[in-house]
Amino acid sequence: MRYFKILCTIMIVTIFFWSLKASAGISGSKHDFHSASWNTNGEICQPCHTPHNASTVEKPLWNHQLSTQSFTVYTSTTTDATIGAPSASSKLCLSCHDGVTAIDNFGGRTDGVITMGSVGTGSGNLGTALTNDHPVSFAYDAALFAADAGLKDPASAGISPLLKSGKVECSSCHDVHNTANRSHLLVVSNASSALCLTCHNK
């Protein structure tokens, strides 16, 4: 019985340290703009959120100008998903990542000039042609699973937490607040393509 207790203790301690390793947060991440020249207040949350007078349309407490761009969505002869215009939280991401909407247009400001396109932030600038980007804002449901043998059952344990209202959104793969401190703010490490293979049955 003593042996049993020691074993359990070792494992609990190991899991504890493992979980510590995985926590990081937005501070210091690529989404931490507190020292950016255009963020005059020097706050971390403000470019996206505000506690008061937030957007009446978008949640959560949205503080950034929304993209007015129309996006060209991904198409492929082998996709079975119905891909609509970016919606829900993906639309919020694109309010910077469209490369057109000024990133300093927040808190009611609309005369900002700094865009992701203008500061050359590389692969983070998706542009308005999303044809070369993984589709978002599509329902990943039983019907899609049935139609595409290359996908896993969305009801399976690893997938359902990633979906937002049953849809794949930017946030299915990306953790905007960097709680896990992974490259590209990924929700799951993509070592061995584990993130891709969460959904793709390849």
Partner 1 sequence: MKIRVILQSLFIILLFLIFFINLNSQRISTTKHNLSSGGSGTIKASSESEICIFCHTPHAAKPRNPLWNRDDPGITYSLYQSTTLHASLGQPDGSSVLCLSCHDGTIALGKVASRSTNITFNSGITTLPSGRSNLGTDLRNDHPISFLYNAALAAANGELRDPSQLSGGVTLSNSKVQCTSCHDSHYSIYPSFLVASTQRSGLCTNCHIRTNWSTASHATSTRTWNGSGTNPWPHTSYTTVQDNACENCHNPHNAVTPVRLLNQSGEENNCISCHNGNAASVNVWNEFASTRTSKHDIASYLGVHDMAESTIPSSKHVECTDCHNPHQAASNSPAATAPNASRLLRGVKGINLSGNAVTNVSYEYEICFKCHSSASWRQQAYITRQIVQTDTRLEFQSNGPSFHPVAAPRGNSEVPSLISPWSSSSYMYCTDCHSSADATSSQKGPHGSIYSPLLKKRYKLTETNGQNNNDATDFALCYTCHDRNTAGKGILQNMSFRYHSSHVVDEGVSCSTCHDSHGISSSQGNSTNNSHLINFNTSIVSAYNGVLRYDDTGVYHGRCTLVCHGKAHDPYTY
Chain positions 16 to 55 lying near partner 1, rule: CB under 8 A, are 18
Nearer to partner 1, 1 or 20 (CB): 1
Amino acid at 53: N
Nearer to partner 1, 87 or 198 (CB): 198
1 contacts partner 1 (rule: CB under 8 A): yes
Q: Which string of DSSP letters, residue by residue, matches the chain?
A: -HHHHHHHHHHHHHHHHHHHHT---STTSTT--TT-TT-TT--SSTTTB-SSS--SSSTTTB-BPPP----BPP--TT--S---S--HHHHHHHHHHTSSS-TT-BTT-------HHHHT-GGG---SBGGGS---SEE--HHHHHH-TTB--TTSTTTGGG-BTTEE-HHHHB-TT-SS--GGGBSS--GGGTTHHHHB--
Q: What's the min distance (Å) between Cβ of 74 and partner 1?
A: 8
183 contacts partner 1 (rule: CB under 8 A): no
**Pairwise CA distance, residues 99 & 122, whole Å:** 10
179 contacts partner 1 (rule: CB under 8 A): no
79 contacts partner 1 (rule: CB under 8 A): yes
163 contacts partner 1 (rule: CB under 8 A): no
Which of 37, 78, 111, 157: binder of partner 1 (CB under 8 A)? Answer: 78
**What's CA 39's distance to the chain center, in Å?**
22
Q: What's the min distance (Å) between Cβ of 200 and partner 1?
A: 8
Segment interacting with partner 1 (CB under 8 A) among 29-37, 48-56, 76-84, 158-166? 76-84
77 contacts partner 1 (rule: CB under 8 A): yes
Amino acid at 66: L
Size of the site for partner 1 (CB under 8 A): 32
Segment interacting with partner 1 (CB under 8 A) among 47-55, 59-67, 69-77, 101-109? 69-77
Interface residues with partner 1 (CB under 8 A) are 1, 3-4, 7-8, 11, 15, 18, 74-79, 123, 126, 131-134, 150, 173, 190-194, 196-197, 200-202
